[in-house]
Chain A
Amino acid sequence: MKKYNKTIIACRSVKTELEKVYNNQQNIKLVFMPQNLHRNPEKLTIRLQETIDKEAELTDAIVLGYGLCSNGTAGLKAPSTGLIIPKIHDCITLYLGGERNYTRLFHQYPGTYFLTPNWIDNKKDPLGLVENEYKQRVGFEMAKEAMETEIKNYNYIAFINNKSEHEDYYRQRTQENAEYFNKDFVEFEGSMDLLTKIIEGPYDNENFVKVNPNEFSKQSQFLK
């Protein structure tokens, strides 16, 4: 018998939401990886593989709290356990409960920059990036200008509301971002459906990619 029935290796960007569903179940282990890895998909693959190799010894099954993430989860394998990966493109789909909702909003609100509590807490919102990352590297003026250039094509900054604690704070911070960068604020209702499934299952073929032990995950498994 291994120590855990299941290990979830997930991005920090879904930490708040996953912990809410998790409820301290003793037979399930949660492992979080830094959100910064999303900047560099090749590094993400390497770091994920290291973590998988380490955790596989202790558990019967590994589920990733990631999407394809620019091929960051393509080319992974787990020796004994195999892998279960949500069949989605990126974390935005996770907050919204599935690809269908994402696609609908994508068309209804073209040019949307999505924010969630973790994005804000990890200071990955546009204002947070300017204040905590960009400014230190290039000075405030250029930092602000860079962010303006980055999001010049956007119309909306959206708050995805998953009914977390301090909801008002996150809404307000999103509004502050929208105002500062001259975008329209919108709020979307999130969904915990997919996040719950990551922890509880069932891992149906419609929503999850299954990778057999010792086989590699492939981009094409996500795209169909």
Chain B
Amino acid sequence: MSIDLEKISEAITKGQIEQLQEMTTQALDTDTDPGVILNKGLLPGMDKVGQLWREGEMFMPEVLRSAKAMSKAMEILRPRLSEGDLGSAGKMVIGTVAGDLHDIGKDLAGMMFEGAGYEVINIGIDQPNEAFVEAAMKHKPDVLGMSALLTTTMPRMGEVINSLKESGVRDQMAVIIGGAPVTQEFADEIGADLYAPNAGSAVDLTKKYFAQQ
């Protein structure tokens, strides 16, 4: 019997951790392609979570439960995703800027990029500007993602972009920024390549961006 991928999405949205683990295992046992489970099951579920949060339909503990379900399912899936899938799309460095300790949205965004085939290097929260630049020089990512949830810490993103310029590496990567208070207008102002209002659209926008390059 094959597993209904929509049920997998639903288990994510509902935060049914055990059911999701079972279904993921079962799907693998019945030879469903791990990439398909991820892209057609887990990620649409997670995308929905981001959406329901914004609409005020889901509350914090539910979002966190869904995120936990997602990472548990990824534990099962990751070893089975072929080398080709992981990192096939490129590399991403992602982190939250200095003074800012919010990480739920950033981690969701990281998961979505991982799901889309990026090797994601998550440098964590409260990262000083230099840490972004160092990570950018060390890992040479295709995409550098920054998250800020406070209007007090948003300006750090512009500063990082300037430091990247000074270090001469700015043009080697696409810079994408996000977080609830961030706007397209702000992204344009500081010279980020991309802004995404949510994690789901971030991946699509990035794909489109590279397709046009």
Interface residues of A, Cβ cutoff 8 Å to B: 39-43, 68, 70-71, 89-90, 103, 106, 110-111, 133-134, 137-138, 142-143, 145-147, 149-150, 153-154, 219, 222-223
- B101 partner residues in chain A, CB cutoff 8 A: 111, 153-154
Measured CB to CB, the closest approach of chain A to B181, in angstroms, equals 5
Contact in complex: A219, B99 (CB < 8 Å):
no
CB nearest neighbor in B for A37: B56
Q: State whether A142 and B61 are in contact (beta carbons under 8 Å apart), knowing that A68-B151, A70-B151, A110-B99 are contacts in the complex.
A: yes
Contact in complex: B126, A138 (CB < 8 Å):
no
Q: Write 21 A-B pairs (CB below 8 A) sorted by A numbering.
A: A39-B56, A41-B181, A68-B151, A71-B183, A89-B152, A110-B99, A133-B61, A134-B59, A137-B59, A138-B61, A138-B62, A146-B60, A146-B61, A146-B64, A147-B61, A153-B126, A219-B181, A219-B185, A222-B151, A223-B154, A223-B155
Give the number of A-B contacts (CB < 8 Å).
Answer: 68
Q: State whether A219 and B61 are in contact (beta carbons under 8 Å apart), knowing that A89-B150, A153-B103 are contacts in the complex.
A: no
- A137 partner residues in chain B, CB cutoff 8 A: 59, 61-62
Q: Per-residue 0/1 for B101-125: is the Cβ within 8 Å of any A Cβ (1 yes, 0 no)?
A: 1011000000000000000000001
- A133 partner residues in chain B, CB cutoff 8 A: 59, 61
Measured CB to CB, the closest approach of chain A to B55, in angstroms, equals 9
Measured CB to CB, the closest approach of chain B to A74, in angstroms, equals 9
Contact in complex: B61, A153 (CB < 8 Å):
no
Which of B62, B152, B180, B181 is the most central at the interface, judged by chain A CB atoms within 10 Å of its CB? B152
Q: Other CB < 8 Å A-B pairs besides A70-B149, A146-B65, 7 of them?
A: A42-B54, A133-B61, A142-B61, A147-B61, A153-B101, A219-B151, A219-B185
Contact in complex: B125, A150 (CB < 8 Å):
no
Interface residues of B, Cβ cutoff 8 Å to A: 15, 54, 56, 59-62, 64-65, 68, 99, 101, 103-104, 125-126, 149-152, 154-155, 180-181, 183, 185-186
- B183 partner residues in chain A, CB cutoff 8 A: 71, 219
CB nearest neighbor in B for A42: B54
- A149 partner residues in chain B, CB cutoff 8 A: 64, 68
Contact in complex: A106, B99 (CB < 8 Å):
yes
How far is A194 from B62 in the complex, measured between Cα atoms in Å? 36
Contact in complex: B61, A71 (CB < 8 Å):
no
Residue in B56, B104, B152, B181 whose CB lies within 8 Å of A71:
B181
- A147 partner residues in chain B, CB cutoff 8 A: 61
- A110 partner residues in chain B, CB cutoff 8 A: 99, 126
Question: Which 4 pairs between the two chains have the least Cβ-Cβ distance?
Answer: A146-B61, A134-B61, A146-B64, A153-B101
- B152 partner residues in chain A, CB cutoff 8 A: 89, 103, 106
How far is A147 from B62 in the complex, measured between Cα atoms in Å? 11
Measured CB to CB, the closest approach of chain A to B141, in angstroms, equals 23
- A90 partner residues in chain B, CB cutoff 8 A: 150-151
Measured CB to CB, the closest approach of chain B to A224, in angstroms, equals 11
Which of B61, B126, B152, B181 is the most central at the interface, judged by chain A CB atoms within 10 Å of its CB? B61
Contact in complex: B151, A223 (CB < 8 Å):
yes
Contact in complex: A138, B99 (CB < 8 Å):
no
- A41 partner residues in chain B, CB cutoff 8 A: 180-181
- B65 partner residues in chain A, CB cutoff 8 A: 138, 142, 146
Residue in B60, B68, B103 whose CB lies within 8 Å of A134:
B60
Measured CB to CB, the closest approach of chain A to B160, in angstroms, equals 17
Contact in complex: A43, B56 (CB < 8 Å):
yes
Residue in B54, B125, B151, B154 whose CB lies within 8 Å of A153:
B125
- A138 partner residues in chain B, CB cutoff 8 A: 15, 61-62, 65
How far is A147 from B64 in the complex, measured between Cα atoms in Å? 9
CB nearest neighbor in A for B180: A70
Measured CB to CB, the closest approach of chain B to A179, in angstroms, equals 20
How far is A134 from B63 in the complex, measured between Cα atoms in Å? 11
